[in-house]
């Protein structure tokens, strides 16, 4: 059985938009997984320490037969392949992949919280999700559109589509 999974993408190092574009291709190639849609990319100010470049963020909608922990393992493998280093909380990164929503699953264990706990507070996550599926609702019944309307604006800037040539 396939589950709809929504993955957040972020980068602010080493050509961030190109990092995200490569990550989208790698996500589409995951086993037992199909890419349904990709959001536009957005530029936003960093959360936390401001002594770093702006981020580029987006999201993808996958249909996957992987369980959430296996999918998390795959996301972390892709991050590592992009040179991800976890040196500072909310610090700069080559690639950040977050499992935001996994079907109607509510999960909170030592490795994973789904839906992502910071999702309601981050316009750079909510807007791409809204772009992907305007009627997306979290398992507890809250609409992403409602959360986006209530979320403080971080001056998101929609970026032109990446040039794949």
Residues tagged active-site? 84, 93, 96, 98
Query: Is 128:141 a contact under the CB 8 Å cutoff?
Result: no
Q: Burial letters for 60-77: b for 16+ Cβ neighbours within 10 Å, e otherwise?
A: bbbebebebeebbebbee
Token pair for 60: 């993808």
Is the preceding peptide bond at 100 cis, omega within 30 degrees of 0?
no
Query: Is 95:82 a contact under the CB 8 Å cutoff?
Result: yes
Q: What is the widest separation between alpha-carbon atoms in the chain?
A: 44
Token pair for 93: 């990164």
Query: Is 99:68 a contact under the CB 8 Å cutoff?
Result: yes
Query: Is 106:64 a contact under the CB 8 Å cutoff?
Result: no
């Amino acid at each position: 059985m396939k589950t709809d999974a929504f993955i957040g993408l972020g980068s602010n190092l080493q050509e961030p938009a190109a990092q995200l574009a490569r990550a989208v291709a790698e996500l589409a190639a995951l086993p037992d997984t199909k890419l349904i849609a990709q959001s536009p990319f957005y530029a936003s100010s960093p959360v936390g320490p401001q002594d770093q470049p702006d981020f580029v963020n987006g999201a993808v909608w996958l249909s996957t037969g992987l369980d959430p922990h296996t999918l998390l393992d795959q996301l972390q493998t892709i991050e590592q392949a992009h040179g991800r280093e976890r040196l500072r909380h909310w610090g700069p990164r080559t690639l950040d992949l977050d499992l935001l929503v996994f079907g109607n699953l509510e999960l909170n264990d030592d490795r994973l919280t789904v839906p992502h706990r910071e999702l309601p507070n981050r316009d750079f996550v909510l807007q791409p999700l809204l772009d992907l599926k305007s009627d997306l609702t979290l398992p507890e019944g809250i609409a992403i559109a409602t959360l986006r309307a209530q979320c403080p604006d971080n001056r998101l800037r929609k970026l032109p589509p990446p040039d794949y040539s």
